[in-house]
Chains A and B, each alone.
Chain A
Amino acid sequence: SQQGEEDPQALSIQEGENATMNCSYKTSINNLQWYRQNSGRGLVHLILIRSNEREKHSGRLRVTLDTSKKSSSLLITASRAADTASYFCAAYGNNRLAFGKGNQVVVIP
């Protein structure tokens, strides 16, 4: 069964705005991974946050993890048209990596 669940499912924003996506999971995890998928392509790893970390940055990406609430968020700052993609969280725990259903983001130029 899948652990990761993203919310909201679809997001449409103007270029330059920030985009925030949330992910919840059900059981304890060792880490949580975020991936991006451009239309018709494979997934590309964005960032991995360990269970003992609360926040992590990579360029315009900021990921937070709240293990008490079993949730994570991905923030993309100053969005660009090239950020248009689907974003997936994947929760790793009990030797399994479980992907969420994905969150489609459209950045309007």
Chain B
Amino acid sequence: DVKVTQSSRYLVKRTGEKVFLECVQDMDHENMFWYRQDPGLGLRLIYFSYDVKMKEKGDIPEGYSVSREKKERFSLILESASTNQTSMYLCASSRTYYRNQPQHFGDGTRLSIL
């Protein structure tokens, strides 16, 4: 089974802090994604990566950056956390060339910025 592991289930940080969310997948997937989930808004794509050191902005990249130094690991960085970044963050991975293959998700990180 594909395993996508997010480093924390719950995280509490203060405004202005630099926050790192880590995600690791064990299936050699090319693509990795970071989403945030807010009530009534569904999942919105922040950033994604299709290869090591490659990244592209999603729909809501402002205030975030990402890092992918190794194929299995994709990090989301909140450069200076703000209260409006309090949310559920979900990491996912997928293969590039298989159309019917779903994205596989981690269990999510509930981040609170105080």
Q: Decide whether A and B are members of one complex.
A: no
Tell me the B residues contacting A by CB distance below 8 Å: none
Tell me the A residues contacting B by CB distance below 8 Å: none
